[in-house]
Amino acid sequence: MVDDNRTLIELANVRKEFDDVVAVSGIDLDVRRGEFFSLVGPSGCGKTTTLRMISGFESPTAGTVQLEGRDVAGVPPEERDTNLVFQHLSLFPHMTVGENVGYGLKKSGVDDQTRERQISEYLDLVDLGGYEDRNPGDLSGGQQQRVALARALVNEPSVLLLDEPLSSLDRKLRKQMQVELRKIHEKTQGAFFYVTHDQEVAMTLSDRIAVMNDGRIEQVGTPEEIYREPASPFVADFIGDTNLFEGTARQNGSGSVVEVADGFAFPVTDDVSGDVTVSIRPEDFDLTDGESDHFSGRVVERYFQGDQTHYVVEPRNGSVSDVRVVMQGRETPVGRGDEAAFEIEDGAPVVFE
């Protein structure tokens, strides 16, 4: 990320209503120059509506959208220094790759020589140099995606807006394009505003993430902060895998002890008491050789995935739901049907009062 904290996009108390439906409920956001910022949340949470208000395809019911310090209320999309890459690429099938990339430049009246130079430059940027005369229909899905990126970047917008651009790709190609997208961002040094429901993509690409739920922003932070210090049970559950437990906390010296059920209790560093919800990531359980003061049970499912093994463990007392556990490494010391005991890593539980 560019070392420049100047705010490029600022949303202040932005609200959007469609008749009686509140799609976005008074959100505040800022995106900094040179930042890769992702807005992530489940389908229907308001993230695409937020993107469309930044781009100018929707107008806020209330609040302000500023680009580079300028209130853009009433400013049409073509007059904003942004470009939008849609989920469906909409490349012109009757045009060559070069003509697709240079379309916006031609409409802007850029002369032929300058246009050809910029087309070549941005196709090189997305590793498609020499593809100018190809037909888009002859390219792979990943190559078409890169043509769409080149077309959006060639006008050198201050902000590139991306609306689920990788969702139609298969898993392997999606992972390849994540790497390519990050490289392109680092080369351009522009701000990318990425909207997705795929938390893995957001965690991989982003400098910062905003998690959205039901029209509201639940948390903004770095991927590490969002994952390790979730602000709510929703964030903990949506970003990555976790186990959520309802329990009772009682103070105990330097911290507290949370009792989830008979025989299932563990210390937490938070000084809390009363009813709580606790999040524990699957990888924060450690297998022990014998009994455990924290948690034990029977392995009911086991999934080997190369460098890690996923377990579903049925607690011995049966009073809480199955617990998901991930063990790192190639060895799989317990199998389906085995009894196993686990300790919880110090400081791992996140407590919500």
Q: Are 286 and 343 in contact (CB under 8 A)?
A: yes
Residue pair 163/5 in contact by the 8 Å Cβ criterion = no
- Find how far residue 69's CA is from the centre of its chain: 26
Domains 7-238 and 268-352 share a fold: no
Domain spans of the chain? 7-238, 268-352
Pairing assessment for the beta strands 82-85 and 159-163 based on DSSP bridges: parallel
Residue of 31, 26, 23 whose CA lies nearest to 4: 31
> What is the pLDDT at residue 262?
63
The residues, ordered by sequence, that sit 6+ positions from 314 with a Cβ below 8 Å of its Cβ are: 297, 298, 299, 300, 322
Average pLDDT over residues 49-77: 94
What is the rounded CA–CA span in Å between residue 169 and residue 139? 13
> 261 or 37: whose pLDDT is higher?
37
Which range, 45-54, 184-193, 254-263, is most confident?
45-54
Mean pLDDT lowest for which of 11-15, 162-166, 210-214, 216-220?
Answer: 162-166
Residue 2 pLDDT class (50, 70, 90 cuts): very low
Q: What is the mean pLDDT of residues 5-32?
A: 94
Query: For 119-241, where are the E strands, in sequence order?
Result: 159-163, 191-196, 208-213, 216-221
**pLDDT the model gives residue 3:** 44
Task: Report the percentage of the chain scoring pLDDT > 90.
Answer: 42
Q: If you classify domain 7-238 with CATH, what class do you get?
A: alpha beta
Rounded Cα distance between 195 and 202, Å, is 8
Which range of 111-115, 193-197, 208-212 scores highest in mean pLDDT? It is 208-212
This prediction's pTM: 0.86
| Distance of alpha carbon 107 from the chain centroid | 34
CATH number of 268-352: 2.40.50.100
- 255 band by pLDDT with thresholds 50, 70 and 90: confident
Report pLDDT for 319. Answer: 63
For the cut 70, the answer to whether the pLDDT of residue 18 exceeds it is yes
Where is average pLDDT lowest: 148-152, 172-176, 179-183, 274-278? 172-176
